[in-house]
Amino acid sequence: MADIISGKSRFNGQEKQTDSGKVIRLRSPEEEKDTLDEQYVKEKIKRHRRNVLVGCLITAAAVFILVLAALFLLDGRTYSQYTVLHSVNRDDTESAKYEAFADGYIRYSNDGAAYYNAKGIAEWNQTFSMQNPHIKVCGEWAAVGDVNGSTIYMFGVQGMVGSVDTSLSISQIEVAKQGIVAAVLEDTTANYINLYNTDGSKIYTVKTTLAGDGYPLDISISEDATKLIASYLYVSGESIKTNVVFYNFSEVGQNETERVVGGFNHYDSTIVGDVEFLNSTTAVAVGEDVLSIYHIKEYPSLTKEIRIDSEIERVFFGNGYIGIVLKNSDSGDIYKLVVYDTSAKEVCETTFNTQYDTIQFDGKSVLMSNASTFAVMNLKGKMLTTQNFDLPIESVLPMGTRGRYIMVNSKYIQDIRLQ
């Protein structure tokens, strides 16, 4: 339809004349809408979407800042006292030991092991006879092995799932997140690293000789049980050296001799007594004067090495953290605590003057205890609480949330919460 026509106007039966004598028809709102520029509409939609996106980003940033602020305040929260949520009397011998497990703890001794929830109610109980029981826990799996003996028991949250008689003397055990157990076994001329399934069946064995490989000091298995790190002490002439060796039990290691996918012998006269997987692809080796970080997806590589210039008193590991307690060479407190993350970045350095029997990680906290004192520190080096107890403390078990612990003393097992 043309915009300019001749003839009578359709508006009120009147004609509207222009200077040229022609009649101009005015568009209705509906017709005007039909002729809107398409580019203008697209731009308007685009502008609306952009405004919505900016609004969402601003809201998300505000929420993120609030969450960070809340976490910062919670991380620095201090506690002045505690309350006992549940308490049960101890009815075991002094030789019984305790380990955090699932939502409670395992009590184990020469006679057996039992799992209790946080309220002290027994979930299962398994008897056995061991001379020197040692326990390892990973997630909802636990293994108890008789060091210098030959038996290993595997447990889940429902109870015992398998056992094995190794026939050789056990020197160390480790457990992965699926319940697979790695055990170092000793013979007169050789050592073996065996992997066992949860039912006790043997999955794989690695043979090492004292003359060729050395004596295995420490091992650690990755959470998925596909990789293992071991430190070997051996004598070369008049020197004592350490080798750090990596094994791969996946398809990658099938074509490698004894599943060895890498080894490092750059430690000279340093004894490397501690190795640990911090996650599925990061492992650490700590020697007398050195800390080494390795990355292994399929084959290992050294990513960082830190030289330690003070005497190491203690080494402990957490999920993604390495803690080293040093003799403090500076004036002031006796001890220095340094915490590193998986990239060997120093996240905390602080000093303290109390001798603690146990130091351990609990998430982003450090728990320290002796017979009379229990302390909690965050990873900024701030002491959050120091609690003194009348009854001798035997164990402090983290429950997965800062401020909640199982406290085992000479008379009671108490589920406590800091306030």
pLDDT single digits (tens) 373-396: 999 999 999 999 999 999 999 999
Residues 6+ apart with CB under 8 A from 243: 213, 214, 231, 232, 234, 263, 264, 265, 267
pLDDT at res. 5:
36
SS3 51: helix
The pLDDT-based confidence of 7 (bands split at 50, 70, 90) is very low
Which helix (H) or strand (E) element contains residue 349? strand 346-352
For residues 160 and 172, is the Cβ–Cβ distance under 8 A? no
Alpha-carbon gap, residue 204 to 167, rounded angstroms: 16
pLDDT tens for 276-314 read 999 999 999 999 999 999 999 999 999 999 999 999 999
Report how far residue 241's alpha carbon sits from residue 219's, in angstroms, rounded to the nearest whole number: 17
For strands 358-362 and 365-369, give the pairing: antiparallel
Reported as a single tens digit per residue, the pLDDT across 201-217 is 999 999 999 888 999 99
Per-domain boundaries in the chain = 1-25, 36-75
Q: What is the mean pLDDT of residues 71-93?
A: 83
DSSP run (H or E) holding 295: strand 290-296
pTM > 0.85 = no
The two structure tokens encoding residue 288: 């007398």
Q: What confidence tens digit (pLDDT) does each residue in 16-51 have?
A: 444 444 454 555 555 555 555 667 767 777 777 787
10 or 186: which leads in pLDDT: 186
| pLDDT at residue 83, as a whole number | 95
Q: Each residue of 197-229: b (16+ CB within 10 Å) or e? A: bbebeeebebebebeebbebbbbbbbbebbbbb
- Amino acid in the structure at residue 268: D
Closest CA to 142 of 157, 125, 155, 131: 155
Please name the residue that has the structure tokens 């040229």: 20
